[in-house]
């Protein structure tokens, strides 16, 4: 495939304008737009298909001119599979504005017949569009604009007609640019998956296309390289920048057994990664699909705004008819026609929602459209599944209790002994014990062959004796070793919500190792913020024993705790809350959370959740922060607040403009200027969106 032909027309530092003949072909513009915008350091891309030109704004500190041009030459229209959108580029063009401005400058210099010709050539597009809208869609704002401009021209007020057309065109251009900026902001969250990656195959390190990596293959990533897959670190230590996927600005440390996501960039170190998700299954690819799906789902607020906007067009038409019947003043009629409620109402709402989606995605939160955002703002009860949500999935050792001092072991000695045996097992309890010994730098103790009884425990010969580790049921029922003499000590640990690992020798009990779920570091802060954000009932569902679940509930000051709940019972508990009149959100991460996520008014899936949980949820967290739940709520409330404020401002200000037009206090030009100014102010406020103010970065 030959390189893309181009010719640089003009350039400044950080800006290149090029003429590219293939842009005349349908579809090429949008694909090239997406292809270039994904380059790190590219700030803006504008394409004019008719002029066959491309303008690139870039940050010279992040990307060089040469790198921009290399990427431009490498573009091949027939081979692009990474296209985000499938339609033709709709970049707002400045050509109509230039035409309008030239007309206004030339008009006073032309004889009267020529002024008529130039005026109708200039406003012809608006008149034709108004007629087409009337025929195919009925009375819309385009019809009113055409009537206002046409009346001025028909009455011989040519300068007024052209000035009004210029203001209307300027407003449309700015509205289009604002709309495109909101879409572009969302697309910028996505980064390209690298075209090549280093993979270990047959004992060698080879470079392969990124989309040819298989699941469970080992990928090697070095400094400055982009991680091409979702996976688990097998070996190495590195700092990883996940900003492109999760919005987390600060690089995070990644080492063995930690999860990494595609699209992250290695800042320092080197990693060997086992691929768990590749190609279209990676987090980055799913984020792209999720955002595209979100934009196609209008909310009830948006549908209501569209309906009210259409009704306001008839209000404007009726007011114009009434003022003409009473005054026969066509100038007033023109001024009334130019009062447009619909633009700000119709555009402000989706732009606000898109800005909210963008801000949420920047903070590691994917919200499935405006409707989901509305429900997020409306819930008053939030139900958390305990494991993996309020707690980490990793257990930690909290207590090492020596029950028999005659055994000759201290607490550290007992932990070292148990860890030496448990390192041969893969159970989470075993891994937690081994990790605790490693953190204390305890030495390995030699032992004989380990016998492992699935779901019960294990044993091994050690120093001429036998050590047995496992559940109380295993030791008492299978090995005949009783722990009843230490019931008080056991009860105290269990009441604190801890899991007990029992240790014994053939002579009797040796000790207890207590473990518990690691409560997320941000759990308390998250729950506190949620209460300030209007969630008045916080509930936890757990399959754990009642004592353990209630201990955690007390620590986190939850309103309700439901313990020993079977997976199928979660949805029933949510439905019971809904029957009380509650609007319920559910936060979970497991496969068995799917029914609860669907039953709730709003489902939120954690970042490490199962695919089924993510598919069932209305909100998916890509950043492993529980605080992201509170961020999501704050963004949703803020977005709805922006929409309400804009709606009230639009109706109030345009009604005042309407009153001025009806009383003859505003000329058509003044009416158009005030209306467009109001619309742009509303869109700018909507574009700024709602930002979470209480984000706390931990770790």
Q: Which residues are catalytic?
A: 385
Give the whole-angstrom CA distance, residue 331 versus residue 344: 24
| Exposure of 18 in the CB half-sphere (CA atoms within 13 A) | 20
Q: In the sheet where 15-19 sits, what is the strand order?
A: 7-12, 15-19, 53-58, 42-48
CA distances from 247 to 17, 364, 515, 521 (A): 31, 6, 33, 19
- Residue 439, C-beta contacts closer than 8 angstroms, at least 6 positions apart: none
Give the whole-angstrom CA distance, residue 2 versus residue 4: 7
Give the whole-angstrom CA distance, residue 226 versus residue 399: 42
User: How many of the other CB atoms lie within 10 Å of CB of 234?
Assistant: 15
CA distances from 106 to 103, 115, 154, 191 (A): 5, 9, 20, 47
- Residue 432, C-beta contacts closer than 8 angstroms, at least 6 positions apart: 394, 395, 396, 397, 515
Give the whole-angstrom CA distance, residue 153 versus residue 170: 19
- Residue 356, C-beta contacts closer than 8 angstroms, at least 6 positions apart: 367, 373, 635, 636, 638, 639, 689, 690
Give the whole-angstrom CA distance, residue 491 versus residue 471: 15
Burial 529-568 (b: 16+ CB within 10 A, else e): bbbebebebbbbbbbbeeebbbbbbeebebeebbbebebe
CB-CB contact of 466 with 459 (8 Å): yes
| Long-range Cβ pairs for the range 534-537 (8 Å, 24+) | 534/380, 534/633, 534/637, 535/379, 535/380, 535/381, 535/382, 535/633, 536/380, 536/381, 537/380, 537/381, 537/382, 537/577, 537/582
- Residue 646, C-beta contacts closer than 8 angstroms, at least 6 positions apart: 344, 348, 349, 352, 682, 685, 686
Q: Helix count (H) and strand count (E) of the chain?
A: 23, 26
How far out from the chain centre does Cα 639 lie? 14
Residue at token pair 């799906």: 293
Give the whole-angstrom CA distance, residue 46 versus residue 131: 30
Residue at token pair 């041009």: 69
- Residue 136, C-beta contacts closer than 8 angstroms, at least 6 positions apart: none
Give the whole-angstrom CA distance, residue 239 versus residue 255: 9
- 112 burial type by CB count under 10 A (0-12 exposed, 13-18 middle, 19+ buried): exposed
Helix H or strand E encompassing 45: strand 42-48
- Quote the DSSP letter at residue 3: P
Give the whole-angstrom CA distance, residue 82 versus residue 310: 37
- Quote the DSSP letter at residue 226: B
CA distances from 243 to 262, 332, 605, 626 (A): 11, 54, 20, 17
- Residue 201, C-beta contacts closer than 8 angstroms, at least 6 positions apart: 217
């Amino acid at each position: 495939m030959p390189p893309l032909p181009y010719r640089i027309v003009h350039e400044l530092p950080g800006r290149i304008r090029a003429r590219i003949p293939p842009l005349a072909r349908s579809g090429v513009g949008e694909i090239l737009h997406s292809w270039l915008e994904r380059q790190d350091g590219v700030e803006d891309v504008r394409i004019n298909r008719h002029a066959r030109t491309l303008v690139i704004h870039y940050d010279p500190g992040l990307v060089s001119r040469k790198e921009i041009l290399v990427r431009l030459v490498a573009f091949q229209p027939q081979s692009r599979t990474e296209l985000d959108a499938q339609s033709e580029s709709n970049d707002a063009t400045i050509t109509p504005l230039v035409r309008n401005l030239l007309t206004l400058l030339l008009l006073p210099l032309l004889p009267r017949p020529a002024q008529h010709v130039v005026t109708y050539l200039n406003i012809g597009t608006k008149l034709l569009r108004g007629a087409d809208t009337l025929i195919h869609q009925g009375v819309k704002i385009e019809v009113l604009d055409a009537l206002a401009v046409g009346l001025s021209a028909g009455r011989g007020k040519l300068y007024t007609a052209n000035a009004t057309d210029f203001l209307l065109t300027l407003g449309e251009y700015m509205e289009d640019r604002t709309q495109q900026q909101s879409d572009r902001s969302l697309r910028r969250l996505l980064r390209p998956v690298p075209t090549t990656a280093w993979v270990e195959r047959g004992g060698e390190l080879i470079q392969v296309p990124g989309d040819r990596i298989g699941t469970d293959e080992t990928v090697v990533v070095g400094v400055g390289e982009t991680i091409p897959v979702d996976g688990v670190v097998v070996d190495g230590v590195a700092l990883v920048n996940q900003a492109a996927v999760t919005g987390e600005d600060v690089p995070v440390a990644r080492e063995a057994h930690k999860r990494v996501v595609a699209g992250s960039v290695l800042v320092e170190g080197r990693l060997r990664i086992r691929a768990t998700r590749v190609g279209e299954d990676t987090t980055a690819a799913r984020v792209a699909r999720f955002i595209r799906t979100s934009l196609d789902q209008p909310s009830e607020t948006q549908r209501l705004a569209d309906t009210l906007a259409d009704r306001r067009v008839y209000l404007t038409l009726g007011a114009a008819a009434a003022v003409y019947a009473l005054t026969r003043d066509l100038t007033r009629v023109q001024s009334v026609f130019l009062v447009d409620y619909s633009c700000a109402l119709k555009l402000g709402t989706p732009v606000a929602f898109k800005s909210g989606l963008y801000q949420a995605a920047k903070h590691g939160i994917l919200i499935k459209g405006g409707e989901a955002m509305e429900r997020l703002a409306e819930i008053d009860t939030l139900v958390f599944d305990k494991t993996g949500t309020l707690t980490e999935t990793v257990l930690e050792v909290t207590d090492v209790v020596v029950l028999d001092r005659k055994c000759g072991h201290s607490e550290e000695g007992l932990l070292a002994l148990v860890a030496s045996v448990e390192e041969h097992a893969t159970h989470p309890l075993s891994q937690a014990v081994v990790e605790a010994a490693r953190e204390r730098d305890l030495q390995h103790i030699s032992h004989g062959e380990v016998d492992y009884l699935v779901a019960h425990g294990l044993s091994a010969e050690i120093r001429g004796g036998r050590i047995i580790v496992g559940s109380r049921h295993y030791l008492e029922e299978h090995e005949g070793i009783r722990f009843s003499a230490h019931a008080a000590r056991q009860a105290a640990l269990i009441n604190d919500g801890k899991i007990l690992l029992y240790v014994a020798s053939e002579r009797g009990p040796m000790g207890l190792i207590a473990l518990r779920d690691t409560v997320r570091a941000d759990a308390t802060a998250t729950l506190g913020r949620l209460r300030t954000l209007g969630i008045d009932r916080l509930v936890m569902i757990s399959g754990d024993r009642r004592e353990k679940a209630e201990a955690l509930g007390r620590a986190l000051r939850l309103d309700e705790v439901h313990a020993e709940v079977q997976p199928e019972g979660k949805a029933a508990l949510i439905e019971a809350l809904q029957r009380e009149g509650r609007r319920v959100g559910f936060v979970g991460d497991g496969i068995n959370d799917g029914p609860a996520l669907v039953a709730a008014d709003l489902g939120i899936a954690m970042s490490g959740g199962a695919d089924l949980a993510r598919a069932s949820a209305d909100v998916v967290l890509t950043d492993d922060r529980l605080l992201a739940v509170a961020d999501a709520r704050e963004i949703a409330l803020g977005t709805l607040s922006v929409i309400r404020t804009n709606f009230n401002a639009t109706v109030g200000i345009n009604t005042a403009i309407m009153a001025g037009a009806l009383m003859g206090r505003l000329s058509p030009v003044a009416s158009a200027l005030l209306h467009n100014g109001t619309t742009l102010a509303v869109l700018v406020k909507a574009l700024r969106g709602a930002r979470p103010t209480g984000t706390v970065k931990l770790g």
